[in-house]
Amino acid sequence: MAHVKVVRRSMGKEEWILLRTSWINKRIIKKSVKLNGWSIREARQVDEMKYEFYDKDFRPINDGEIYFTPDGTCFLKIEVKIPEELLKEKVYLQFKTAAEMIVKINGKWADGIDPNRDRVLLGENFRSGDMLLIEIEGYNRSKPDDERNPKSSALKGCRQVFDSGSLITINEEVENISYDLNILTETMESEYVKEEIREFIKNELDKALNIIDYEESDEKVYLENIRKARNYVDEKIFNNNTFGKIGNVALVAHSHLDIAYYWRRIHSVQKNARTCLIQLRLMDKYSDFKYSHSQAFTYEMLEKYYPELFEEVKKRVAEERFEPVGAMYVEPDCNIPSAESLIRQCLFGQQFFRTRFNKTIDNCWLPDVFGNSWIMPQILKKSGIKYFISNKMSTWNDTNKFPHNHFKWKGIDGTEIYACVPPTHFISWNSPEQIIENWESFQDKDSCNETLSMFGYGDGGSGATAEMIEYMHRIEKIPGLPNVRHISAKQFLDENLDNNESLETWDGELYLEMHRGTFTTKSKIKKWNRKLEILICDAEMLSSIASIYGFEYPRDLINECWKKLLINQFHDILPGTHIQPVTRDTMKDYEFIYNNLNNLINNALSYLKIQASDNKSKFINLVNTLSWNRKGMIFIEGEFEANVGIKNFQSQLGERKFKKGIWLNVDSIPAVGVKSIELENNYISTKQDKWFTFENNILRTDLYEVTLSEDGSITSFVDKAEGREIVSRNSAINEIKIYHDYPGMYDAWDILDNYKDKEENYRVIKKLAIKEAGSLFIVFEVEFAINQSLWKQNIRFYRHDIRVDFEHYVDWKETNRIAKAEFDFNILTRYAKCDIGAGAIIRETHKNTSWQKSRFEVCHHKWTDLSENGYGVSIINDCKYGISFEGSKAGLSLLRSPIRPDVDSDKETHIFSYALIPHKKSPEDAGIIQKAYEFNYDVYAMKASEKKENSFILSENDNIFIQTIKIAEDKNEDNLYIVRLIELKGERGKGTIRLPKDIKNVWEVNLIEDEIEDHSFTFEGNSLSFNYNPFEILTFKLKF
C-alpha cells in the first residue's frame, strides 16, 4: 500500500491567528474615495533630466489602461478637491504601481512611491473646497530580478496597467495593532526562534485575538476591542521578562543605490532623489529615525537637480539624522581600478562632504563590492578613513566562510584599518528572523558585544519603509530576540571597533569567492579604463610641468574627466555586470575623456615647445612620462614611407596591435622628459643582417631557440644565456583555449570552477607564418576560426630582447564561452606574484585546501610572475585582469561572452596584447615592474620644430614611481603642486626625486592633501629627498 502523507485539513491555531490578523489588516483603511481625472504625458529620458516626449501634451488616462513603454518615463497629474467626508482627517494618496515615482503636492516634493510603498501623506485638517495639484514623475525601472520582496516581484514588466488610486484615511489604532500582530506572527513562524518562545507567542496571540469580534460593524465597539487586544499584547508579550534577550544588534538604515545596472546612470538621478525624499519624509514622521547615505556623486546630483531636497538633506545632516557615509565619490569596483583611481575616489568624495557638510567621512561604505584589493587599507587610512565596511565576504562566499565580522584589516604596506563585514545581507527589512540570524552568525562575539544589521531596500535605491521603522520599535520588546538600538553607522563603528584591541587581524586581500568573471566580462570597458587611467595621469603631469612655466592649468576639465572616469568604475559598470545601454553610455564617456585628455596633452606639449605645428619637420620629439630613463624598443604609430627610418637608430617599419608605424631601438628617453629623433628618408635597413633563422618551425637567435606550433602556441623556449627550457615537457605556452562557460543566472558575474570540463575546438585557417621580418624583430601571424568568430594573432620576437609579444585581434561572436591563453612553465613553484597596482601580492598556486581551491580565478594588474629561486617567467599585459594558476601553470583570461544582464555582452571586435619575459633573479630585480609599465605607457611622438633632450622630473630610485604630479587642491596659494610616489618593490630606504624648478617649500600631505608629518624629508634646489617604507604611497605638496 502506498504511503499517503496525512495533511491536516482543518485549521490549526497558527493558521487561525494568521487569518484573523489578515482581517485586521484589511480594516487599516478607514475611508477611501477613488480618484478619477488623471492626465498623463509619456516620454523617454535621454539624458540627465532631459526627455523625448511621446505625447505633445497631457492626455487623459483611466483605470485599466496600459501605460509606460519600454525605457519609459511618464508624467502624471491630477487636480483633486478633497471630498467632504475626508475633511479634518489625515488624507493620503494611495497609488499602487510597479514603477518608481516621485510625487509633488501643490509644487512641493511630497514623497516617493514604488513597489514597496503606495501611500503619500497629502495633509490634514482640510477645509471644504480645498484643492490639491498632484504631480508625479514615474520611472518604470524596478529591478527585474529582485525576488527578495515577493509583493513587488509580481508586478514586473516594462508596461503597466494603470490604477488611478484613491484618497484614503487611516485607522491608526488598527494599523498599530497590525504592526504588532505582523511582527509577532513572523516571530511565531520563524525557525530561528526557540520553540518555547514561539509556543508562548502563539498562545498569547491567540488569546489577544479572541478579544476582538471580527463581525462587529459598530466602529466604536470594534476599536475598543482593538485597544483591549493591543493592551493584552503589550502586557503579556511585550512586557514579558521570562525569556530574556540574546545578543545586541545595531540597526543602521541605508539604501544601496547602484549608479547603473539594470538602468542607465541618467536614471539614478531620479532613483536617488526618490530615495532621499522617502527617507526625509520618514524623518518627519519618526523623530528617532536616522538614515545613512553613501556616494558623493549621488549628493552632487541631488544638489544639481533637486536643490530644495538637497537643502533639506543639509539640514538633516546638521542634525546628525541624515548621515553621509562612504567617503568615496561612488562605490567603485575595488579589484580593477588603479591605486590613483581609488585615491581620487576618496579625494573627490571627501572634498564634496567637506565643502557641503563640513565633514570628513571616516568610513568606507562598500556593502556590495566584489572583493577588495590589498592596497586599500593604506589608501583609505591616508584619506582620513578609519573603518572599512562591506557585506560581501560574509554572505556571498561560495566555498569558505570568511572568519571575521569585526577585525583589523592589514594592508600590503602594513597599514591597519578597522573592518566590519556584517554577518547578513545589506538589504534587509528588520524581520525578526533577519535580526536573530544576524546575531547568531556574528563570529566575533568574544571581541565585540554588538553586531551591525543594515536595513532598507536597495540596489535601485528606496531605503527604509515605515513598516521597517515600526518593526524596529517593536523588536526590542519581543521575547528571545536580540536587543536592538537604532544608531548611526559612525556611532556603531566608534563604539565597537575604534581602539578595540581584542580584534583579530586579517592580513591579505579580501578575496570574494564569487563573481570571478567580473575580472574579464566586458573587456573593452576594462581596456579603456586602463588606457584612460594612464592618459589622465599623463595629462595632469604634462599640464603641471607646463603650468610651472606659466601655462594655465586646466583644473576644471581634468576634474570633469576624472569624475567621468570614476563614475564608470562603479561596481556594476567596470565589472561589466549591466545592460547594454550602460555600456554605450560608458563608451561615450570614454570618448569624451580620451578626446579632451589628448587635447590637453597637446596643449601642454605645445606650450613647452615640444610639439610644433610644422608638419614638414623631420624632427620628432619623443615624450616619456615614466619617471625613469626609458630605453629599448618603442613604437611610433603612423603612416610612413617604405624607405623611412630613424637617423642614428636602428628602426623597422611594422605594426603594433594591428596599427601601422615604425619601431626603433632607443638608447634613452629621459625620465619624464623629451628626446628628439630625426626621420631619415633613405634609411638603409640592416634587413640582410641575418640575426635569426627559422626552419622546421624553430626560430633561432643569439638569445633564444623557440619551437612554434602552427596554431601559435610554443612547445619549446630555450633561454640561451641561461641554458634553460621554460616550457614544461610535452606541454606548451601561449595555448589559446576556448571553454564552455555556463555559471548560471549571474552569468556576467561568475565563472565556475568546472569551466574546463568542456573545451571548444577551433580550426586553424591560416597556419603560423612569417608576417614581418627586419633588422629589429620578426612577426609571425596565425589565424583561426571558432564557430563564427575570427581570431588573428601576431607574435613578435625581438632581436635585442628576450621578450615575446602576443597581439590579438578577435571578432568575437561566441555565447557563453571563455577564452584563455594558457602557459605551462618549466618552473617549480607553489606561488605566483601578481601586480595589484601599488605593489604585488604572492598567491599560492597549489590546491591543498578549500581556500586555495576557491581562488581558481584571481585579479592581477599589469604583470604576473612565476619564479623559482633565481629564475622565472613574467606575463605582462595591456588590459587583462583575470588569471588562474595551478602549480606552474597560468591561464590568462582573455574574453568571455555571458548573456545576462546583456545578451550580447562582449560580442564585438577586440584588440589586446600580452608579453612573456623570461628572466634571471626576482621579477623586481629583473626590472619586470618597469617593463610592465613600459608595455602600457605609450611614448608620445610629436612633430618638433627644435631638437630637445631633457628630463623634467626624475626618480633616482628604480623602486620609486612618480605616479602623479598635479596642481594642489589648496587654491589659497599659487604654484602649489602635488607629487605622489609609490614604492613598488617592497623595499625600505631613502629616495630622491628631481623636479623641473627649484623648490621653495615642501609639506608632506596625505591623499586628501591634508598636511601630515609622517616622514623626514629634505629639499635643496630642485631635489627632494625622503625616507620610504615598503609599498608605501607618499605624497608631498610643493611650492615652486
Partner 1 sequence: MRLDSVNLKEFIDNYIKVRIQADGGEIKFLSFQNNILTIQAQGECSKCNLTETCLKEWIVEEINKEFNKMISINIVRKKPYFWDK
**Are residues 475 and 428 in contact, defined by beta-carbon separation less than 8 angstroms?**
no
**Are residues 636 and 664 in contact, defined by beta-carbon separation less than 8 angstroms?**
yes
What the block records as the C-alpha cell of 516 is: 570571478
**Are residues 72 and 162 in contact, defined by beta-carbon separation less than 8 angstroms?**
no
Q: How far is the CB of 907 from partner 1 (least distance, A)?
A: 12
Closest to partner 1 by CB, 508 or 581: 581
**Are residues 687 and 774 in contact, defined by beta-carbon separation less than 8 angstroms?**
yes
Where do the H-state alpha helices sit in 480-637?
489-496, 523-548, 555-567, 580-607
Q: How far is the CB of 742 from partner 1 (least distance, A)?
A: 6
Closest to partner 1 by CB, 579 or 605: 579
**Are residues 551 and 541 in contact, defined by beta-carbon separation less than 8 angstroms?**
no
In 10 A of CB 648, how many CB atoms?
Answer: 11
Helix (H, G, I), strand (E, B) or coil at 172: helix
Q: How far is the CB of 95 from partner 1 (least distance, A)?
A: 20
Q: How far is the CB of 592 from partner 1 (least distance, A)?
A: 20
In angstroms, the CA 347 to CA 767 distance is 52
Q: How far is the CB of 72 from partner 1 (least distance, A)?
A: 8
**Are residues 492 and 453 in contact, defined by beta-carbon separation less than 8 angstroms?**
no
Give me the residues paired with residue 778 across strands.
773, 797
Closest to partner 1 by CB, 264 or 919: 264
Strand (E) positions, 812-936? 817-824, 831-835, 840-844, 858-859, 863-868, 871-877, 882-886, 889-896, 909-920
Cα 255 to chain centroid distance, Å, stands at: 16
What the block records as the C-alpha cell of 116 is: 514597496
What separation, in Å, do the N-terminal and C-terminal C-alpha atoms of the chain show? Answer: 96
Q: How far is the CB of 746 from partner 1 (least distance, A)?
A: 9
Helix (H) or strand (E) holding 203: helix 195-210
Q: How far is the CB of 391 from partner 1 (least distance, A)?
A: 24
Q: Which amino acid is at 395?
A: T
Q: How far is the CB of 427 from partner 1 (least distance, A)?
A: 19
Closest to partner 1 by CB, 263 or 387: 263
Q: How far is the CB of 135 from partner 1 (least distance, A)?
A: 24
DSSP per residue, 749-774: T---TTGGGSEEP-EEEEEEEEEEE-
Closest to partner 1 by CB, 142 or 569: 142
Which one-letter DSSP state was computed for residue 101?
E
List interacting residues with partner 1 (CB under 8 A).
Answer: 44, 66, 69-72, 140-141, 144-145, 156-159, 262-264, 579-581, 742, 744-745, 747, 816, 899-904
Closest to partner 1 by CB, 748 or 929: 748
Closest to partner 1 by CB, 158 or 698: 158
Closest to partner 1 by CB, 129 or 744: 744
Q: How far is the CB of 902 from partner 1 (least distance, A)?
A: 8
In angstroms, the CA 253 to CA 742 distance is 36
Backbone angles phi, psi at 884, to 5 degrees: -125, 155
Residue 753 neighbours by CB under 8 Å, 6+ apart: 853, 854, 856
What the block records as the C-alpha cell of 806 is: 602576443
The answer for 837, left when phi > 0, alpha when psi is -120 to 50, beta otherwise, is left
**Are residues 1002 and 1019 in contact, defined by beta-carbon separation less than 8 angstroms?**
yes
What is the SS3 assignment for 794-805? EEEEECCCCCEE
Sign (positive/negative) of CA torsion 397, 391, 332, 278? positive
Closest to partner 1 by CB, 240 or 815: 815
Closest to partner 1 by CB, 54 or 851: 54
How do beta strands 291-294 and 322-325 pair?
parallel
Residue 403, CA distances (Å) to 150, 180, 420, 505, 777 in order: 32, 36, 12, 11, 52
Which one-letter DSSP state was computed for residue 570?
B
Q: How far is the CB of 164 from partner 1 (least distance, A)?
A: 18
Q: How far is the CB of 711 from partner 1 (least distance, A)?
A: 29
Residue 947, CA distances (Å) to 81, 296, 634, 645 in order: 81, 47, 19, 17
Closest to partner 1 by CB, 77 or 900: 900
Closest to partner 1 by CB, 458 or 898: 898
Q: How far is the CB of 760 from partner 1 (least distance, A)?
A: 16
Closest to partner 1 by CB, 148 or 724: 148
Q: How far is the CB of 905 from partner 1 (least distance, A)?
A: 11
Count how many Cα atoms sit within 13 Å of the Cα of residue 871 in the half-sphere of its side chain: 12
Closest to partner 1 by CB, 423 or 901: 901
Q: How far is the CB of 745 from partner 1 (least distance, A)?
A: 5
Closest to partner 1 by CB, 244 or 744: 744
Q: How far is the CB of 162 from partner 1 (least distance, A)?
A: 12
What the block records as the C-alpha cell of 386 is: 578609519
Residue 482 neighbours by CB under 8 Å, 6+ apart: 245, 246, 247, 248, 249, 435, 436, 438, 439, 475
In 10 A of CB 366, how many CB atoms?
Answer: 25
Cα 790 to chain centroid distance, Å, stands at: 32
Closest to partner 1 by CB, 69 or 728: 69
Closest to partner 1 by CB, 73 or 1035: 73
**Are residues 546 and 538 in contact, defined by beta-carbon separation less than 8 angstroms?**
no
Q: How far is the CB of 939 from partner 1 (least distance, A)?
A: 40
| Residue bearing cell 482543518 | 10
Closest to partner 1 by CB, 42 or 1032: 42
Q: How far is the CB of 567 from partner 1 (least distance, A)?
A: 18
